[in-house]
Amino acid sequence: MSNIRVRFAPSPTGPLHIGGVRTALYNFLFARKHKGTFILRIEDTDQQRYVPGAEQYIIDSLQWAGLVPDEGPGFGGNFGPYRQSERKEIYKQYAHQLVALGHAYFAFDTPEELDAAREAGGEGFKYNYESRGQLKNSLSLPEAEWKALLEKNENVVIRLKVPENKSIHITDEIRGDVSFSGSELDDKVILKTDGMPTYHLANIVDDHLMEITHVIRGEEWLPSTAHHVLMYEFFGWQAPSFSHLPLILKPTGQGKLSKRDGAKFGFPVFPINWDGSDGDEPYPGFREEGFLPDALLNFLAFLGWNPGNDEEILHKTQLIDLFSLDRIVKSGARFDYDKAKWYNQQYLMAMPNEDIAQLLAPLAMEMNIDANIDKLAHAASMMKERVYFLQDILRTGYYLFNEPHDIDYETFNKKFKPELKSHFLSIADLVAKAGNADRNHFESLVKGYAAEHGLKIGDLFPIFRLSLTGTMQGPDLFDTFAILGGATSSLRIQNLLN
């Protein structure tokens, strides 16, 4: 292992969005590329918005995707606990240290007093160097008064004291040099009234104590990084390297992809099904939609990154070898669901039929379909180039297992020549006697009969297709004879004709 340590730090305030999976993926790829450590940290300091079940959902999603942490809740590690709610006393210690150093202060403003200050200050109001002297805090109040308020412990928070004339510089691995002026920033709350830290303090302290070397996260956190860099400086700690990822945009390219866009555009935006235990509606997942995890990862990797060549199909080991932060783009990446389906189809086509059969078996049992592995593998070989999703092998190709229930009679009436009925029935008899022959035998049998009796293939094949599958769009005709077997194929031909 190298000393490279990266963390994926989601908040369990709801299901993990697909954008979060991409963030986890980039952290995972970077850690594996550099033989480092990939850490899962649960940032559950917002107890008011905490959703029961969301943490397990995050873990289940990562495990399904194959992004298994080296450290984290349930995964072990020497830097735990990995839930921030279990580290409360640690943050309190460091918040008070900043107060003692003169870089933070106690504030006692009630919600009503803050609302009044915002109303008086207008849209541009900030709790900062300009306003802090007129508000209720340990910088503006006499010492005896604020200490009495601190003793009462009502509405007490600790705020970061941002210097007015401080220039804060950040070198972002993706966005280059970014600078902020202290006069632009507000005095963020770093410890709340319930004693829990805000994200700003907690992630700084944890990243330092867990020896995080690289922070790779969404661009929405870039403005807050100024406060984080300030705190690193106040503590005298070495800041990690920062990389802020581009947004994943709606299919229209306008605006950030949201959970509501799934219903609007007709695709999932969560990795696995969410049951709606947050009081919101349930949402479908990519897993249940039929996506293979490696296909989804390949698709997500290219939403904001490219390998610098024309290759599009890159398996996880290849992604690890090629991944680098300098190939991540700054601009947002448009979510293209058709492209995601294309990736899934490519991975499905490349998968061994026997492996597909193993995945299909439980689905087949749910659908009351014959779950014989050999037959499922045969069906996979026939259908996988014709579908996007695993379960569509069974749904689209249901007629490989059950009697076709939706026959295209309009085409049958156009194609069928009544004078050939006796020939169809004769061929049906020959097919029945062939039993469980292979496709080549059925092809030889049908074509041989046609040649012997001077029949045109174009008069026969459409009727056989309609008999066996109900449609003209099915897979190879003689493969269909073979998977159904002679007896079933013969019966279907007779049923349609009679």
Written as one letter, the residue type at 293 is P
> Cβ of 202: how many Cβ atoms within 10 Å?
26
Identify the H or E element spanning 446: helix 439-452
Residues in a beta bridge with 328: 305
* CA distances in angstroms from 366 to 196, 290, 362, 370, 394, listed in the order given: 46, 15, 6, 10, 11
Residues in a beta bridge with 171: 177
In whole angstroms, give the CA distance from residue 273 to residue 284.
5
Identify the H or E element spanning 287: helix 286-289
In whole angstroms, give the CA distance from residue 463 to residue 472.
9
Helices 353-366 and 373-383: angle between axes, nearest 10 degrees: 110
Assess contact for 320 and 307: CB atoms under 8 A. no
Assess contact for 43 and 50: CB atoms under 8 A. no
Go through 455-494 and write b for each residue having 16 or more CB atoms within 10 A of its CB, e for each that does not: beeebbbbbbbbbbbbeeebbebbbbbbbbbbeebbbbbe
Report residue 305: phi and psi, to 5°. Answer: -145, 155
Q: How many residues belong to the chain?
A: 498
Report residue 427: phi and psi, to 5°. Answer: -65, -40
In whole angstroms, give the CA distance from residue 37 to residue 96.
31
> Cβ of 414: how many Cβ atoms within 10 Å?
9
Helices 439-452 and 421-434: angle between axes, nearest 10 degrees: 150
Residue 137 has what DSSP assignment?
Answer: B
Assess contact for 463 and 424: CB atoms under 8 A. yes
Q: Where are the beta strands (DSSP E) in 166-312?
A: 167-172, 176-181, 189-191, 214-218, 241-245, 248-249
Q: Which of 326, 328, 320, 329 is nearest to 34 (CA)?
A: 320
The residues annotated with a catalytic role in the active site are 259
